[in-house]
Amino acid sequence: MLKIVIAGAGIGGLATALSLHRAGFTDIEVYERVGELRPLGVGINLLPHAVRELTELGLAEAVERIAVKPSRLSYYNRFGQPIWSEPRGTDAGYSWPQLSVHRGEFQMLLVDEVRRRLGAGAIRLDSRLTAVEHGEHQEHARFARANGEEFEVAADVLVAADGIHSALRAQEYPEDGAPVWSGLVLWRGTATVPSYLDGRTMIMAGDGEQKFVAYPLAPADGDAPGSLRLNFIAERRALEGTSELADWNQPIDPAPIVQLFDAWTFDWLDVPATIAAADQILEYPMVDREALPGWRFGSSVLLGDAAHAMYPNGSNGASQAILDARTLAFHLATEIAALEASAGSNATTAAIRTALDAYDAVRRPATARLLEMTRQLGPERVMQLAYDRAPDGFADVDDVIPAHELQQIADDYKRTAGFHPSTLNERASLSASVEHGAVAD
């Protein structure tokens, strides 16, 4: 049986461990840089294509227990005037819902599930990947502990799911440098606020220069009836002197941000009051990385943000990492299942590399197209169009953007991101078994 080492216990690495295990691989170890896993971050959305994969991994019920299913996604201009609204998840005809979750709670759920299914020792903490040597038949991964101690692990396959500052990516593409900054800053937070609209609508207001995104994460706890726990992202071009270091954990003072959104009091949501009510606000420069010419090096491969960090427009970061994980497990299982029982090391190594190339051939172009679209604002282009054509607002959006143009933008994004209902509901499952190859639906 193959030994598979995964670097990074983020959503990508954990989903990879669970996908490989579901496909029948048992010798899997996850090495994580931090010494303690804590529920960091704020909200993320799991789109129906990712929820399909979580369902096939047997995780849907557990995730739904910590999630809200958004009913609609509605776009507004900076005056709160409606531009476009569409149903989401099962309300939009998908066989699977969209789920809004707290990133940290979702990550902890995956951590628990990896430990339950793969064993209590499957995740090794305080283990930072520093380098990988690609041998003829084995990968030799070097790790360092916080105290400076180093150790090496040999594996048949190494998956680098080590995030936007990936060590494997930096080793293989030394000219890659720092993440690319758009010049925009995101302020993310959660706040308990009075319920708005139907209590399950994700909203985006503004344009390419300044924007506010919000969606419910949960009903408010206990004693606040009619309230909900909201995730929000306030976004604006950076003020001079802002650092472009991509660090998710820099709490900052909400007052200047409240001021920036001072005029954004809509009759359906009070934006400055929401920002002022935040438990804490994390500042994050909007960065991504260039698409790469290849993700496989020997029998090592990039996955998730390590391979394709992109802007959060379209809420696709975690969903794409989950799709990577399932696609990788599918190809590895089907190639290994096709090997003769007597296959030697050469044939096994060749099968592994064929599988990793197949994963690369599917996922790299798909995420490169998506990366390009997120740079063009993704589905949020409708907001910029409304601004370009009517910067001072409008009485009726039909006078500014015809409905068919709005529909086209929404459809194009879903097709590119792989979650148009017509294709997602019909496509074959990515479930596979190392014993039998592809598994019929």
Q: Which of residues 4, 155, 318, 417 is near ligand FAD by CB under 6 A? A: 318
Does 206 participate in binding ligand FAD (rule CB under 6 A)? no
Cα–Cα dist 23/325, whole Å: 11
Nearer Cβ to ligand FAD (11/434): 11
Q: Which of residues 2, 11, 50, 57 is near ligand FAD by CB under 6 A? A: 11
Does 188 participate in binding ligand FAD (rule CB under 6 A)? yes
Q: Which of residues 2, 4, 12, 378 is near ligand FAD by CB under 6 A? A: 12
| Block residue for tokens 């066989």 | 95
What SS3 state is found at 269?
Answer: coil
Cα–Cα dist 290/367, whole Å: 11
Q: Which of residues 70, 80, 163, 378 is near ligand FAD by CB under 6 A? A: 163
SS3 content of the chain, % helix, strand, coil (to 5): 35, 25, 35
The vertex-230 CA angle with 227 and 235, nearest 5°, equals 145
Does 40 participate in binding ligand FAD (rule CB under 6 A)? yes
Cα–Cα dist 434/335, whole Å: 8
| Cβ atoms of residues 296 and 2 within 8 Å | no
When CB distances to ligand FAD are compared, the closest residue is 10
Q: Which of residues 126-155 bind ligand FAD (CB under 6 A)?
A: 128-129
Does 272 participate in binding ligand FAD (rule CB under 6 A)? no
- Stretch near ligand FAD under the rule CB under 6 A, chosen from 158-166, 199-207, 325-333, 368-376: 158-166
Size of the site for ligand FAD (CB under 6 A): 32
Cα atoms found within 13 Å of the Cα of residue 424, Cβ hemisphere only:
26
Nearer Cβ to ligand FAD (97/179): 179
Does 49 participate in binding ligand FAD (rule CB under 6 A)? no
Does 41 participate in binding ligand FAD (rule CB under 6 A)? yes
- Provide the CA 21 distance to its chain's centre, in angstroms: 21
Q: Which of residues 29, 305, 335, 380 is near ligand FAD by CB under 6 A? A: 305
Does 189 participate in binding ligand FAD (rule CB under 6 A)? no
Does 321 participate in binding ligand FAD (rule CB under 6 A)? yes
Nearer Cβ to ligand FAD (7/358): 7
The vertex-138 CA angle with 133 and 141, nearest 5°, equals 40
What's the order of all strands across the beta sheet hosting 227-237? Answer: 82-87, 72-76, 201-206, 210-219, 227-237, 180-194, 278-288, 251-252
Which amino acid is it at 56?
E
Does 13 participate in binding ligand FAD (rule CB under 6 A)? yes
* Interface residues toward ligand FAD, by CB under 6 A: 7-13, 31-34, 40-42, 44, 103, 128-129, 161-165, 167, 188, 248, 304-305, 312, 317-318, 321
